[in-house]
Amino acid sequence: MADPAKFRVGLLGHGTVGGAFAELLPRHADRIARITGLRPELSAVLTRSRGSFQDVLDGSDLIVELIGGLEPAREYLLAAMRAGKHVVTANKQLLSHHGEELWEEARVHGVQLRFEGAVAGVVPVIRVLQESLAGATIDRVHGIVNGTTNFILTEMARTGETFADALTAAQRLGYAEADPTEDVNGKDAAAKMAIIARLAFETPVHIDQVRYEGIEHIRPDDLEYARDLGLGLKLIGTAERVGDDGLSVTVYPAFLYPGHPLASVNGPFNAVTVESEAITEITMSGPGAGGPQTATAVLGDVISAMIPPASTPPATASLRIVSDVVSSFYLYLEVADEPGVLARVAHVLAEHHVSVKSVVQKGLEDQARLVMVLHPVLESKFFAAIEEIAALDAMRAPPRAIRVLEEEFG
């Protein structure tokens, strides 16, 4: 087969996200070539100290803008689209100020302007609003769209420390910029909510039309009070239909009841819930920022812009289907209440390399219940052990096993 044609990607900005993107692209080039028939390669890079915009423009089929800020990012994107190039950006400030101008330019020149990385890092909010939910009338969107503030509020609630101390911890761990002003005062979240509202309600929203408040004034006793009431405090962006023809877009700290889908979103994670009569409610969550994470969203946009994917992409990965996997289990046994039963069960488990994480033993007349949580083990070993345990004289009922999901995120 002939080598796939090259697809030249020009990169503006080589910082946290741009640098991660430049590493990611070559690692995925072969796979993308198999999917799209075109082999992407980084053709030119522009930073403050190297490259020229004109060279990047002339030598590229698509431009990725990861400079940030309003100018010259706006000017570069407009020039790229006027030259008939698709563009991908993660620049929420730019889109929340000049989105209409940029989207209009994309329409006029028949090019794609994609921006999944601008709103909630790698959480695919833009695609879901633009494509999956295009058929739904959306009533309300709530979002935790700033990971820095969510991390700070989570830490304040967890440790009882002040805003200032939690911010220092966030900076130490890389969850806050050296200058965190726009994160903590709500402006970053306001920019993202302006973009989300624009898509959800098909109404132009400028960042100046978003009312926002930050978390700088939150005190540890606010969080203590909230905990006593069973509430959690989050910085929540809301875009909602008001009456027949109104739209409100806000960012405020808000208490949430534990049942709310955003209540359990902790640490630097982002999440967005979309409400509509047709779909009730959908929640998407995941890492909201970070170089490699955002670069993944940017690369997804590049692939989408390169070629419309076939309805079913070719099966190029040829992975082996695996049926025996590692799982954790909860095991419930009803056994005769006699000495040595636990030891016999433990012996069988050990013979099959199944180890016990925790165990509770309770007497019940002449029977006893053994409830165990087991460490992750290959399922075939676990079920071999269970078969042997089921055959023990001391068993009074068949063993009951339920898988335990051990993953914790955030």
Ligand X SMILES: NC(=O)c1ccc[n+]([C@@H]2O[C@H](COP(=O)([O-])OP(=O)(O)OC[C@H]3O[C@@H](n4cnc5c(N)ncnc54)[C@H](OP(=O)(O)O)[C@@H]3O)[C@@H](O)[C@H]2O)c1
Active site residues: 192
Cβ–Cβ under 8 Å, residues 67 and 76 = yes
- Told to check if 200 binds ligand X by CB under 6 A, we report no
Choose one: 238-246, 256-264, 286-294, 322-330; the region binding ligand X (CB under 6 A).
286-294
Which of 10, 40, 99, 121 is in the footprint of ligand X by CB under 6 A?
A: 121
- Told to check if 91 binds ligand X by CB under 6 A, we report yes
- Told to check if 88 binds ligand X by CB under 6 A, we report no
β-bridge mates for residue 237, sequence order? 143, 251
- Told to check if 18 binds ligand X by CB under 6 A, we report yes
Neighbours of 376 (CB within 10 A): 16
**From the CB of 214, what's the least distance to ligand X, in Å?**
17
Residue with tokens 């970070």: 290
- Told to check if 302 binds ligand X by CB under 6 A, we report no
**From the CB of 12, what's the least distance to ligand X, in Å?**
6
Instruction: Give the sign of the dihedral formed by CA 324, CA 330, CA 336, CA 341.
Output: positive
Please identify, using beta-carbon distances, which residue of 91 and 276 lies nearer to ligand X: 91
- Told to check if 142 binds ligand X by CB under 6 A, we report no
Residue with tokens 């295009």: 134
Cβ–Cβ under 8 Å, residues 8 and 108 = no
Q: Write down the H helix ranges in 160-280.
A: 163-172, 181-184, 187-201, 220-228
Distances (CA, A) of 310 to 34, 36, 37, 313, 315: 12, 9, 11, 5, 11
- Told to check if 117 binds ligand X by CB under 6 A, we report yes
Which of 1, 2, 3, 48 is in the footprint of ligand X by CB under 6 A?
A: 48
First-to-last alpha carbon distance for the chain, in angstroms, is: 45
Please identify, using beta-carbon distances, which residue of 20 and 239 lies nearer to ligand X: 20
Please identify, using beta-carbon distances, which residue of 16 and 150 lies nearer to ligand X: 16
CA distance 276 to 280: 5
**From the CB of 98, what's the least distance to ligand X, in Å?**
13
Which of 4, 72, 220, 292 is in the footprint of ligand X by CB under 6 A?
A: 72
| Residue nearest ligand X, CB atom distance | 15
CA distance 248 to 15: 35
User: Which residues contribute to the site for ligand X (CB under 6 A)?
Assistant: 13-18, 46-49, 66-68, 72, 90-92, 117, 121, 289-291, 294
